[in-house]
Structures are given as structure tokens and as C-alpha cells.
Amino acid sequence: MQKLDLLDENQGVTKTILLLAWPTIAEQVLLTFVNYIDTAMVGSLGAVATAAISINASTIWLVNGLLSSLAIGFGVLVSKNIGAKNFDRVSSSANQGLFAAAFFGLCIFLMMLFVGPRLPFWLNADESVILGSQEYIKWITIAFIPQSLMIMSSGIFRAVGNTKTPFIVNILNNFINVFLNIFLIFPSREMTIFNTNVYLKRANLGVKGAAIATCISISISALIMIILLLKNKDLTINLKKLNPLKMNWDINKKASILALPNAFERLSLTIGQIFLTAIVANLGTTALAAHYLAIQAESITYMPTFGFASAATTLVAQALGGSKKELAKKYARNSLIMGTTVMSIAGIFLFIFSTNLVGFFTNDLQVITSGSHLLRIVAICEPFFGLSMMVFGILRGSGDTKRPFVISIIGMWIVRLPLAYYFVNYTEFALNGAWVAMTLDLTVRGLVSYAIFKRGKFFDRESVI
């Protein structure tokens, strides 16, 4: 169990951060590129197909956000108990986390059976995208149980300092997804391979095929992740301990204290995104497609920073769990500098290559032109977005999940949505106005987050382990 300890100061703070962060950074960057390919495959079917998926995007982000919140709650407990060298508690937290993930995934699955078919109507979707949207969410709903288990398993591995296993399995997941997309989305065709004509038989399911591919790839990857978790001798996961009649209520209570504010944060942000999607949807299918593809393109900028934020959460949690407050401060300060610097460089990249990024997904010139304008607008605030991401990761590692929630509420509901509604409906800015509002929101979040970080009082929080 000693190999789980990341508190060896002899190897240097920066080196430790990089050792923990690089697999997550590589994972997120590669996942984003694979997601680019996935989105481009659907985008090649036209704006209607892209809009059919984009209508469901905010809801899927919400579900994944809630599942990630659950993983954060148990992950912080695992990390802090490793720092405190309470290894029985580490194993108990991991066991309880797996049960919670299975139960929560089942609840979401049952809820989405009712909600999914109604989403396009609630979000004012154009009639042309309703059927495709319903087919897509039906299959994605089936994947929510394995997705929940996969997110929790990844979180547990990262919490103990093993970021390579989630890296490998998640990359495998996405390559399976792309491979299946090739055969499920497109029609059969004849191809020439090494001067030989080959007839490639494919399902031609369009948007539905993309959803089925996602469902299958997630299910396979979740199974692999669970098997690896069960075989991990350091965690001693025991399926017999997943008995709901033998719950460890103390662990679940403490995980809930950590997870609920983060869950409410994700809920608030995603409901806000749904409202924003509804506002944008009134501008038409082209605007909705441009909005969705610009969001997809922007994701490349914050994936590396996510890796540093994830590392900061684990390292700060372990350091504070081991009563090494000064080491926790060093981890926090260095990771903040590294993550924000990377995000700033990524913002420059986003501004310069905005047209290329959107053009990768679609050949629709109107969508490309509109989407590239959106990326140039949001590129300005990427350093501030990086600040908030890093501070949120540090705060969560300290056990403070409430302030990220409050900051996000202010940004989304007081800044972004009112301004977006005004710009879209009462000015000539239209879709660009919605993204100006987004930029102002992210800037406010960054400035407020940095002010909290400078005060540093969160390092003195009472431990929840």
C-alpha cells in the first residue's frame, strides 16, 4: 500500500505534479481528438444530424457531471485516507463508492426512460431533428449504468495516484467507439485497398448508429475497468461488501458532504446550458449547429488544464490528509501556475486556428463562419477559465466543494444567462452575443476564484475524513 503515497518531497513538487498529471492530460487531449473525429463523422451527415445530437448534449453533460460529482466525493475520501495512511478506510471508501455508482446509475437510467423522448419538445427543437434526437438519447440512456461505474472506477484509480489505468482504458473506449462508428453510421460502399476492390458492408444507421457505438464501447470499457479494480491488491475491493444492507453510513455521509455541492454546481451549470441551448435554438438549426460545434472545438483548450486540476485535487487531499499543510500549499501554488499557463497558450491556439477547428467537423460554410467567430470571442477569457478550473480543483482537494458551487451559480445565473437572453433577443449580436455573455461569465469566475485562492483560508479547513 505504500506505493500509493504521493507525499515524497524528495522528488520535487513540480515533478510529482507532472508525474500525476501527464497521463490525465494525455488522456484528455487524445479523448478530445477522438471526440473530434466522432463529431466530424456525424457532422458529415449534415447540420440536421449535428443538431439532433446537440439538443441532447446539455442533458448528457448534466448526467456525466452528476456522476463525476459522486466520484469526486468518494475520491477525496480515498485520497485523504491515503495521506493519513488509514488503508482500511481507503478500501471501505472504494467499496462504498462502487455501490453508490451502480445505484445512482440505475436511478438515472430509469429517470431518462421518461425524460429522454420528451427533451427535443421541451427544448423547442426543429421538427427535422426530433426523431434523430429521440433515437440518439434512447441508446445513450442504456449506457448510463456502465458509464456511472466507469467514472467511479476512474476516480478511485486517480485518487490513489494511478492515472495510467484510466488513461489506457478510456483511450481504448474511444477507439472502439470510432471503429464502431465507421460500420454503424455510414452506408455500405466499395473501396479500393492495395489495388483490390473491397465491398465494405455497413449498417447506415446515421445518428442512431453513433449512439449504439457509444453504448457498446462504454459497456466494454466499464467491464474492463471494474475487472482491473477488483484485481487491484492495494484497494481490496470486495463484491460481498457491496450489500446494501451493510452500508457504511459514516463513509456515505462524508462522501455526500463532499459530493452534493459539486453535484448542485454541475446541476446548476447544466440547467443553465440547457436554457442557453433553448435560447440559441430559437435562432435556427444553423446557429444551433455552430453553437454545438464551437463548444466541441473549445474543449481542446481546457483538457490539459483538467489534468492539472485533477492532479491538484489528489495531491492537496493527500497532503492535508497526512497533515502536511505546507506541502499542500506548494502543490496548490505550482499546479495553479502550470494549469493556467497551459490554458493561456491554448487560448492563443484557439484564436488562431478557430476556422480550422470548426471546419474539421463540417463542410457547411455558414456553420464554419459562425462557429469560428464564437471561438475567437471565447479565446479571450481562456486564462480566466483556467484560473477557475485550477482553484476549483484545489478547493475540492481541501474538502471545500461549496465555494465552487457558489461561484458557478453567480457566473451562470447572474452573468451568463441574463446577458445571453438580452443580447440574442434585443440586439443585433444574436449568437455572438450569447458567447460574449459566456466570456464575461468565465472571466468573473476566474477573478473571484483567484481572490479566494490568495486568501488561502481553505487550507485550515477541518478534515472530513
Quick one: pLDDT at residue 343?
94
Count of Cβ atoms closer than 10 Å to residue 144 Cβ: 24
Question: Measured between alpha carbons, how far is residue 146 from residues 8, 76, 220, 459 in Å?
Answer: 35, 22, 9, 35
Of 265, 184, 257, give the one whose Cα is nearest residue 217.
184
Average pLDDT taken over every residue of the chain = 86
Report the percentage of the chain scoring pLDDT > 70. 92
Q: Is 125's pLDDT higher than 90?
A: no
Quick one: pLDDT at residue 220?
96
Confidence of residue 159 (pLDDT cuts 50, 70, 90): confident
Quick one: pLDDT at residue 8?
66
Quick one: pLDDT at residue 411?
96
Contact 37, 178 (CB under 8 A): yes
DSSP 197: E
Quick one: pLDDT at residue 379?
95
Residue scoring higher pLDDT (84 or 118): 118
Q: What is the pTM of this model?
A: 0.79
Q: pLDDT tens-digit profile of 417-456?
A: 999 999 999 999 999 999 999 999 999 999 999 999 998 7
Quick one: pLDDT at residue 465?
52
Quick one: pLDDT at residue 243?
58
Residue scoring higher pLDDT (84 or 439): 439
- Least confident piece of the model among 90-99, 120-129, 363-372: 120-129
Count of Cβ atoms closer than 10 Å to residue 187 Cβ: 11
